[in-house]
Every structure is written in structure tokens, then in C-alpha cells.
């Protein structure tokens, strides 16, 4: 029986290109902890990253698998689903999906043993949200809150997890620490919410055919585009507010200079919402904002560390 997957197809089903954000959240957590506490446990942090990386691949496999299996539209199965287009066996996809759980289970067990039940609780919540996105009697991707929950889980929960792992042995992680990392992550949350909205507008017809009552189907495409623009504006407005409040380094203000360039990236999508043609331009814009913002936080942390050594 066939058990292998073509490398290209594996990349498409696992959406491996999106895992670059897992590394970005780790850099954000390291920058945050060094800015505020001057330390980070790299062993736990890197192990957490590896676990999150494989969980991310697993969840993407699971979502593509469930979307294909639960679809009631033949057009979706044959022309949109990566599994259907490539006529891949569901049994093979399922075996790879479960195979991807081996590393996170081993690493997770070690981290729980070393750091306690909070790591286990965070892991259960994170994986639970990932699975419920496309499974269960009412999957999140078929509800009006799906885009919001996913944006919060990815941009807030993962950095909080990394920060907890990085600080757990110092005893410095508390509720105020969690609130601080959540505040720092807010620009990323609004940018990622825009990515979810753009995905919803591009998939609107397919979602309606498959009976998914998403936020975009609820408010309509025109209102979704208005919300998209407002969310981008909020993402950029939050950066100077956080800098003035000294939540993030002043150097992050340089991120605002990207606004005209990012708006140019978004114009094709705002003109027409076509998944293969204009959705990638939104992902490019989101990546550009998130990576620049996080790297500038890291630069601020390095600068503070250097000053403390002089």
C-alpha cells in the first residue's frame, strides 16, 4: 500500500510555508523577555518551537483532510481541494497526519515534565482550537467567530507559550507578563485577522456551497472589505500607541513607514478577491508587517542588552 507523499504535495497539504510565522513568534518572545527580564531559556524555547512547528503541520493536514471529507460540493473536491486536485488517497493523507504527531507528543511530554501543568493546559487549548477549526458538529471555519478565534490563537497563544517556557525557571512569568505579551502582539493579531478575512472573501462562494456560515457570509463581501481596511489601519495605529506607552521600543515606530508600501501590496486584492491571484499579495503584506515589527523589537532588545553591558 502506498504510504509516501510527493514532496510538493506534502508542502501544499501541510502549508509548510506558513510555518515561518512560528519562528517569528519565537523571536518576538525572546525579544520581549530580554527587554523586560534580561533572560530566556533557549532550550525550552527551541523545543517549544519544534513542537509548535510539527503541530502546525499536523493541524494544516487535519484541516485539509476534514475539509475534503466533509465537503458536499463536488466542485470543491475536484477543483479547489489540494487533496482532490491531486487525486491523493485519504488513507495516505491520514497516515502522514498522525505521523506528524510523534515529535510534538515526545517534546510536549518532556516540557510538561520539566515545566508543569500550565504547559499541558496551553498545549491542550492550542491543539483543541486547531482541531475544532475543521472538525466537530460545528467547526470553527463554519462559524462567524472562526476568523477571530484563529487570529487570537495564532498571534497571542503561541507567543505567550514561548514566553512562559522562556521564563518558567526564573519564576518571573505572571499575569502581568501575559498581558504585556498580549498587548505587544496586538498589531500582529489585527494583521492576521485581515489575512483570515481575505481568505474568507476569496472562498465565499465555495463556503456558501458547503454550508459554512462564516463571518464574511454573514456580513457580506462589501462590509468584509471595509472591516479589512479598518483592521489594517488599527494594526498600524497600535504601534505608535504601544511605543508611547513604552510597551515596545521606540525603534518599532519605523514599521509605520511601511504603510504606503503595504497598501500598494493590498490594492490588487481590494480590486478583486481571487484566491490564486490576489490572496498571496495579502499574505505578503501580513508577513512584511509582522516580520518587520518583530525584528525591530528584537533590535530594541539587543540594544538594551548592549547598553546594560557597557
Encode the chain (310 residues) as per-residue pLDDT tens digits.
456 677 888 888 878 888 888 999 999 999 999 999 989 999 999 999 999 999 999 998 888 888 777 666 666 666 667 776 666 677 888 888 889 999 999 999 999 999 999 999 999 999 999 888 888 778 888 888 988 999 999 999 999 999 999 999 998 999 999 999 999 999 999 999 999 999 889 888 877 777 778 899 899 999 999 999 999 999 999 999 999 999 999 999 999 999 999 999 999 999 999 887 888 899 899 999 999 999 999 999 999 888 878 7
Global confidence as pTM: 0.90
> How many distinct structural domains can be found in the chain?
1
CA distance readout (Å), 272 to 137, 191, 201, 204, 223? 33, 19, 10, 13, 15
Sign of CA dihedral 181, 187, 190, 194: negative
Q: 72 lies in a domain?
A: yes
In a domain, 189, yes or no: yes
Asked whether 45 and 74 are in contact (CB, 8 A), the reply is no
First vs last C-alpha separation in the chain: 64
- Chain centroid offset of residue 279 CA: 16
Q: Does residue 207 lie within any of the structural domains?
A: yes
Alpha helices for the chain (secondary structure H)? 7-14, 20-36, 42-70, 74-75, 82-85, 90-99, 102-115, 117-132, 146-152, 158-167, 175-202, 204-209, 215-219, 221-244, 259-271, 279-309
**Which structural domain, as residue segments, surrounds residue 60?**
7-309
Q: Is residue 2 in some structural domain?
A: no
- CA distances to 130, 227, 269 from 266, rounded to whole Å, are 27, 14, 5
- Determine, yes or no, domain membership for 1: no
Amino acid at each position: 500500500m502506498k504510504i509516501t507523499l510527493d514532496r510538493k504535495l506534502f508542502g501544499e497539504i501541510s502549508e509548510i510555508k506558513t510555518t515561518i510565522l512560528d519562528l517569528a513568534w519565537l523571536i518576538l518572545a525572546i525579544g520581549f523577555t530580554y527587554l523586560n527580564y534580561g533572560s530566556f531559556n533557549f532550550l525550552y524555547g527551541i523545543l517549544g518551537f519544534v513542537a509548535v512547528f510539527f503541530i502546525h503541520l499536523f493541524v494544516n493536514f487535519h484541516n485539509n483532510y476534514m475539509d475534503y471529507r466533509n465537503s458536499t460540493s463536488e466542485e470543491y473536491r475536484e477543483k479547489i481541494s489540494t487533496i482532490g486536485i491531486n487525486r491523493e488517497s485519504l488513507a495516505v493523507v491520514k497516515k502522514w497526519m498522525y505521523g506528524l504527531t510523534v515529535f510534538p507528543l515526545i517534546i510536549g511530554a518532556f516540557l510538561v515534565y520539566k515545566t508543569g501543568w500550565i504547559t499541558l493546559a496551553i498545549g491542550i487549548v492550542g491543539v483543541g482550537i486547531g482541531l475544532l477549526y475543521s472538525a466537530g458538529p460545528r467547526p470553527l471555519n463554519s462559524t462567524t467567530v472562526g476568523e477571530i478565534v484563529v487570529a487570537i490563537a495564532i498571534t497571542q497563544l503561541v507567543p505567550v507559550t514561548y514566553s512562559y517556557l522562556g521564563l518558567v525557571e526564573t519564576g518571573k512569568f505572571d499575569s502581568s507578563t501575559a498581558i504585556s505579551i498580549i498587548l505587544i502582539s496586538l498589531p500582529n493579531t489585527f494583521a492576521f485577522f485581515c489575512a483570515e478575512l481575505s481568505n474568507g472573501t476569496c472562498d465565499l462562494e465555495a463556503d456558501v456551497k458547503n454550508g459554512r456560515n462564516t463571518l464574511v457570509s454573514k456580513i457580506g463581501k462589501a462590509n468584509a472589505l471595509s472591516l479589512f481596511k479598518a483592521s489594517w489601519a488599527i494594526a498600524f495605529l497600535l504601534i505608535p500607541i504601544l511605543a508611547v506607552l513604552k510597551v515596545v521600543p521606540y525603534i518599532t515606530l519605523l514599521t509605520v513607514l511601511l504603510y504606503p508600501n503595504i497598501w500598494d501590496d493590498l490594492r490588487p486584492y481590494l480590486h478583486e478577491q481571487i484566491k490564486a491571484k490576489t490572496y498571496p499579495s495579502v499574505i505578503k503584506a501580513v508577513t512584511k508587517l509582522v516580520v518587520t515589527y518583530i525584528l525591530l523589537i528584537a533590535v530594541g532588545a539587543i540594544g538594551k542588552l548592549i547598553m546594560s553591558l557597557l
